[in-house]
Structure formats: C-alpha cells, structure tokens
Structure 1
Amino acid sequence: MDNLEIILPSCGFMTFYHNIKDQPDTFKCLICDDHEINKDECLNIKRNKIIILKKKIELQIEKFNYKNQNLSIMSMNPSHYIEKSFEVITNELDLRREKLKQEIDDYFFKLFNQIKQEKEAHIKLCTDKSVEKSHINLDKDQIDNLLKQSISIDVLNGILEEVEEKLSVLDEEISNLEIGKNYKLHLPYDPIKIQKLFGNLEINGDVTRVGNYECFQSLECEKKIFSPSFFSINKIKFFNDDTILSLNGQCINIWDKKSGKCLKSIYPENSNRLCVLNSYLFATGTSTESIKVFDIRSYKCIKNYRKNQGSIQCLKLLKSGDLVSLSKYSIQIWNLQSEKCLKEIKDLSQFINCLEETSCGNLLTAHLDRRIKIWEPNKGHILNEFTVHTSLIICLKMMGKSILAIAFEDHTFKIWNYITKTCIKTFLESDVTCLDKLNDSLLVIGTAYGKIKIFNVNTQLYVGAIDSGLGYVINDLSINNKKEIATISNKENSIKIWKRKDF
C-alpha cells in the first residue's frame, strides 16, 4: 500500500501513498510546493481511489488465502488447536492460584510468628516472676471459726473484703497464665469477594471477534470550577456520525469529531440529561422541572416544556416520534410538534430511576424497590411487573424483542428475558456503569475501571474488550451508525472516540 503511486491534484505530479497518509487534512504540495492540497480530495480522485481499492482487495485476498490455508490445516485436528489455544489462560489461572496461595501462606506465617513471639514473651515473664503463694492463701480454719462465732457486720464485711481481694489476685494470676485466650483473629466486616480477589475471565481485545478498536480522537472539555456541593454530571451522545454532544456539569459542548474542536458551548441552567431528537434538534432535561429543546444550527433554545413533575431523571425519543420524560414518580409523553403533554402516568408507590422502550412500544421502568414495571403508554396501564435483584437498578438496555440487559448498583450485571420473566445469566463484580448496543446481539458495556466490554447476548459470552489504559470510571458512552464508540470519563471530563481498525 505504501508504495502506490498517487497523482497530486492541480500540478499532476506523482508521489507515493506513504508520503500522504500521515499528512494533516491540508498540506503544501510535496513536489512543487506552490499550492495547498486537501488530503481527502487527493485520495478521492477517481484514479487514486481505484488503485487504492484494488490494492486493498489484493491485500485482503492475500490475507484470505493465508487464513484459508491455516484453517484447512487446523480443521484436520480441531481439538488439538482448541486445546492449545487454552494453554496460556490455563497457565495464567494456575500461576494466579499459586501466587495467592503464597501470599496467604506468607501472611499466615507472619501472624503465626507474631503469636509465637507473644507466647514466648509471656512464658519468660511468668518464669522470671516468682509467684508468692503465701499472699494469696486463705486461713480457712480461722475464717470458719469467725463465721461461726461472729455476729458483727463489720467483721463479716472484713472477711468478705479479704476473700474478694484474694480472689481478685487469683483471677489476675490465672489470666496471666491464660493470656492467649485474649487474642482473637479480627475478620474484615465485608465478606471476601473471591471473584474480585482472584480475577475474571475475559476475551482479549486483541483477538475480538467484532474487530479491534483503536482510539482515534481525544477531546478535553474546558475545565471549570464548581462549588464543592455541585455534582458533576457527565453524559455523551452522537448527534450524528460526525458531531458529538457532551454534558459536563452545567455546560453542553458541541464537538466536531473529525477536527476534535468544540464548535459551541451552551450553558442551560441545571441541565442533567441529553436526548437527540432529529438531525438538527436535541433536548435537555433539567433539575428544575423543564425540558428545553435546542437547534444546533442557531445554538438557541427554541422550545421549553414545563410541567410540575420534579427533576428530569431520563429523556428518550420513542419509536412513535414522541418524547418521553421521566421524573421521580411520573412519566410524561410529549408531542414535539404541538408541545403538549399527551399522557402523564403517575406511580406514587415508588421512586422511578430509569426507563427503556420495548420493541413493541411498551415502556419499562425500574423502581427503587428493585421492581421492573411494564406499561402500555397510551392507556397508562401496568401490563406486568417483576423483581429482578436485591440491589438498585442503574441502567436498562433492550436487546431485540425479549432480551433485557440490566446493571445494578452492587456491580452485578444480568441478562433477562422480560417476557418470560426469567434470568438467563448473572455476572458478579462486573462494575457496569453504562450500556449501549452495536446491534441487537452485541451489547457495549462501560465499566468503573476504564474498560469497555462487548458482550454477545445470544452466546452469553464476552467477545471483545477495549482497555483505555487509564483506569478511570466511564460515566457514559454512545455509538453512531459507523459503529464508532464515544466515551466520557470522570477524569477531567475526557472524551475518547474509538473505531474499528478494519473499518
């Protein structure tokens, strides 16, 4: 590919592809140096585009032939190659076990030696100290006589005081000889989470079956100082394939994906949610009971929906084209054209914290009491409800007609069939923070430790992983039509955009 001869516009001179591929979007002619060249226009000249495509086809055919030959060889003894492919992970598992066993043994002997030293120190102390038995003996005959003859309360109190004093001395001496009983093993308050301690099995991102992803753009939001009590909200949405919306605190930034430049910053008061409505409108939900609609062409608020509903918890564009908003105890469905609230569904029984739409247009709501309710939106009737876990639900994502992905506050992640109300798979210690999907089979998962996982809901297997290498919490993610993934983290509101290497 690098040695392909590319024709340059205007002057018509030739140069090699490797001289152009790493050039900026616009650069001086490499041969005559007297005119500017737009890289995309140059590579899209029909002649250049044809030879590049031919070369790509040639390289892909070479790759195909090589892999086809390998497959023929491997197919002769498939079990051997499958066994061999698991050797590394099996060895890693064994080494991890041995390492943890060694660490446990090392700590055990540390505590054991500590006990041994304490024991020897107390033995030496008791051996060196001669116990005077005389000062703790009682003259029983004398006491018996006094008890029989005396009717004086003072005498009896004196005898009682002497006996109790001698008893206290005995207790102290016995306690010194049983000092080991005072030691105890203090266990941690939280039970040992062995999965977190040992580790999880994951598909290596370098061998993912959905393609290798690479970061091709990083955007840094403007740093702003908020009062200590202000909770920074990080949300991100692809407005279209080349424009990104990000919500950071009280600022909405509109980004050009290609250049990485912020086109505009908008400061709508108390915004906490984002929703793309169409090719030029987006909505924000606020903590002051209103929904504001902005036009990206003018960067101005053109509509303001207000209803006594409390802070907006969720905004979602329905398949019908209507907008649904979620507050603490109610759901409102808005017509974008008339700006009227078509339906308000109130559920005062429990706080509602997230919402999703099914393939048939019903609504799913997750509640504070760990239940999921299924609503018919036009009539506002509850069709069904079920409990899915003992922890708070933090996000829902529909996958196809019946599969529902659910993430919980206790880091559990579950796959449910919401129609049959059965749990298909449970993952512990998954640290899920947000969900989106590449298609109805592939779920994209953001985590609290900076990794993006790709999960196949049909095979119930992780089929890819993208490691940001930073370890910061991924607050939100969004996917465009090109299958590019945008993420926003809690590290200085950093935005990263990932694309498939083979795209």
Structure 2
Amino acid sequence: MPLRLEIKRKLAQRSERVKSVDLHPNEPWILTSLYSGTVCIWDYQSQAITKSFEVTELPVRSAKFVARKQWVVAGADDMYIRVYNYNTMDKVKVFEAHTDYIRCVAVHPTLPYILSSCDDMLIKLWDWEKSWYCTQIFEGHSHYVMQVTINPKDTNTFASASLDRTIKNEYLDLGSPDPNFTLDAHLKGVNCVDYFTGGDKPYLITGLDDHTAKVWDYQTKTCVQTLEGHTSSPESDKHVLKMVLYVYGIQLLID
C-alpha cells in the first residue's frame, strides 16, 4: 500500500533576478522586470522604488515604458502581455499573446504599435488603436526569438535576435512580410541586438552565447568588430546590468 503524506506547509523562495531594464524619456525613472513576476519603477534621484506591480507568479522577461500613454507594457512566461497605467496602477489591457515564454516587447516611437518576440519562434505586431489586434506575424526564425528592437533611424524596420544564430532585419510595412536581410554569420545563439544611436554609422551590435559581442555594418552586412571579455553569455552576464544601474546610483539585488 503506498505511503500517503499530508502536506502541511509549502515553502518557496522567489528570486529577484532582473530580466530587463528601461529608462523613462522624461522622468528620472528606471523600469525593471523581475524573475519573481514583479515590475518596479525606480527613481534614480531618490534611489527608491516609486511603483511596484505584482504582474504574475512567473518571470516577467521584458517591460517597457509607453510614455505618451503613461503606460507600462510587460510580457511574461505565462504567455500574456499586460498593460498598466503607471500613474493609477490600473490594468489597461491583459491578453494572451503567444504560446510560449515572451522574451521581449518593443514599443514603436510614434505609431500605436507593440512588437513581441517569443520562444514559439514568432514575432507579432500589435496595434493598440485597433483594440490590440495582431496586425502582422513575422515567421522565419527556427529557434527562440530573444529580442526585437526598432531601428531609431528608420522606424519602419526592426531587428530580431534568435538562438538560431541569426539576426533578421525586417519591415514593419504590412506589404513587406519577408526579411529585408538576414545576418547568419554567428557561430552561436544570439541573445540580444541593438542599433547604434551615437552617430551616422549603420551599425548593429549583437550579444552571443560564445561570450562575445559583435558590431555589424547592416548596409554592407559585414562584422566590423568583435568585442571579448565576458565570462558568460551577454544575456546572463550580471556585470553589464550592474554597470548600467551604478551609473544612476542604484544598487539592485540581481544575483
């Protein structure tokens, strides 16, 4: 006869690992999303938390400000995107967006668009002026899509990073569903991607599972620089996040 045990108490320890950060364009605020399922707004002048949202019990891997709407938009491992008014802390919208962990959300700087990327290998475009209707699905990656970011110099294009070792540069234009180009010269999975904003150079920077970062000229599609020195993958290297936060005089528990 099997032994039957009665559970008297369950104990759990939630991690406070930081999964994403974002800066408010006007206020002295840093937005952090945590593995514990919480989203926090830090005032880097007072060095204190000013707002905290208990989003879900699962990790929130990406959260962004939508300053012109006074929103925070967050994507989590429960496959939902949630939108909050950061002044009233009211929920604006909650909807199931994907069929696996949501890795990243990106906000269009002028149009009412949110991009989301996921472990289901899809990127989706959401229009909040159309009741958050999904107006476009971008396929083509063959592994988790770790990050999407909109080109600040051409806001009709965006880049996506995937563990399939590629970067894709794609059009937001609904009439152009195919990738503009694909960078497939990476030897390991790509965890993160961003555009260079400090000048006129047409550069992308990628963070790889081989502990390096690469700078790409996306016009010539060539690697112009490889940066070494990390001891773990850039997606998980805590020292990068610590450096950013210490610039603003904030110390977070991210171990």
- 8 Å Cα contact 1:477-1:487 kept in structure 2: no
1:335 and 2:127 are equivalent in the alignment: yes
Does structure 2 retain, via aligned residues, the 8 Å contact 1:350–1:368? yes
Structure 2 residue 53 is the aligned partner of structure 1 residue 263: no
- Give the conservation status (yes or no) of the 8 Å contact 2:41–2:49: yes
Q: For 1:453-472, list aligned pairs within 5 A.
A: none
Q: Is the 8 A contact 1:405 1:414 kept in 2?
A: yes
1:345 aligns with 2:138: yes
Does the 8 Å contact 2:64/2:107 carry over to 1?
Answer: yes
Tell me which residue corresponds to 1:414. Answer: 214
Residue of structure 1 in register with 2:7 after alignment: none
Which runs of 5 or more structure 1 residues have no equivalent in the other structure? 1-224, 436-446, 449-471, 495-503
Describe the superposition over 1:7-41 as per-residue Cα deviations: whole angstroms up to 9, x where unpaired: xxxxxxxxxxxxxxxxxxxxxxxxxxxxxxxxxxx
Classify 1:317/1:487 alpha carbon distance in 2 versus 1 (closer, same or farther; 3 Å): farther
- How far, CA to CA, are the matches of 1:235 and 1:226 in structure 2? 23
Secondary structure at the aligned position of 1:259 is classed as: coil
For residues 122 and 12 of structure 2, the distance between their equivalents in structure 1, rounded to whole angstroms, comes to: 30
Amino acid at match of 1:376: Y
Cα shift readout 1:456-484 (whole Å, capped 9, x = no counterpart): xxxxxxxxxxxxxxxx63337769xxxx9
CA contact 2:22–2:32 (8 Å) conserved in 1? yes
Label 1:373 to 1:488 Cα distance change in 2 as closer, same or farther (>3 A). Answer: farther
Alignment map for 1:104-503 (pairs within 5 Å): 226-227=12-13, 232-239=17-24, 240-248=26-34, 249-269=36-56, 270=58, 271-279=60-68, 280-321=70-111, 322-328=113-119, 329-338=121-130, 339-347=132-140, 349-358=142-151, 359-360=153-154, 361-377=156-172, 378=174, 379-400=176-197, 402-431=202-231, 448=237, 473-475=239-241, 485-486=247-248, 492-493=253-254
Structure 2 unaligned blocks of 5 or more: 1-10
Mapped partners of 2:157, 2:242: distance in 1: 25
Question: In 1, distance between residues paired with 2:22 and 2:118?
Answer: 21
Alignment partners' CA distance in 1, 2:79 and 2:196: 31
The Cα shift of 1:237 comes to 2.0
Counterpart CA distance in 1 for 2:37 and 2:218 is 36
- Partner of 1:474: helix, strand, or coil? helix
Q: RMSD between aligned alpha carbons?
A: 3.1
Q: Distance in 1 between matches of 2:202 and 2:115?
A: 21
Q: Secondary structure at the residue paired with 1:475?
A: helix
Residues 234 and 330 of structure 1: is their aligned pair in 2 closer, same or farther, counting only changes over 3 Å? closer
Structure 2 CA distance for aligned equivalents of residues 255 and 233 of structure 1? 13
Given the superposition, is the C-alpha separation of residues 259 and 372 from structure 1 closer, same or farther in structure 2, using an over 3 Å criterion? closer
Structure 1 pair 267/386, CA: closer, same or farther in 2 (3 Å)?
same
Is the alpha carbon distance of 1:416 and 1:351 closer, same or farther for their aligned partners in structure 2, counting shifts above 3 Å? same
Q: Which has the higher strand share?
A: 2
Taking structure 1 as the reference length, the TM-score comes to 0.41
**Per-residue Cα deviation, 1:101-147 (whole angstroms, up to 9, x for no partner):** xxxxxxxxxxxxxxxxxxxxxxxxxxxxxxxxxxxxxxxxxxxxxxx
Gap change, CA 1:257 and 1:369, over 3 Å in 2: closer
- Say whether the 8 Å CA contact 1:433–1:476 is kept in structure 2: no
TM-score, normalised via structure 2 length: 0.77
Q: Go from structure 1 to structure 2 and tell me whether the alpha carbon gap of 1:236 and 1:376 turns closer, same or farther (over 3 Å shift).
A: closer
* Distance in 1 of aligned mates of 2:164 and 2:31: 33
Whether the 8 Å CA contact 2:214–2:227 is kept in 1: the answer is yes
CA distance in 2, matches of 1:348, 1:287: 19
SS at match of 1:473: helix
Change in Cα spacing, 1:432 to 1:355, as seen in structure 2 (3 Å) is farther
Displacement after TM superposition at 1:308 (Å): 3.8
- The total of aligned residue pairs comes to 230
Superposed displacement of residue 346, structure 1 = 2.5
User: How much does 1:298 deviate?
Assistant: 0.8
More helix per residue: 1 or 2? 1
Instruction: Report how far residue 226 of structure 1 moved.
Output: 4.8
**Tell me, what secondary structure is at the counterpart of 2:124?**
strand
Q: 1:324-352: CA deviations, max 9, x gaps?
A: 11112111111122221111122363332
Q: Aligned to 2:31, what secondary structure does the other structure show?
A: strand
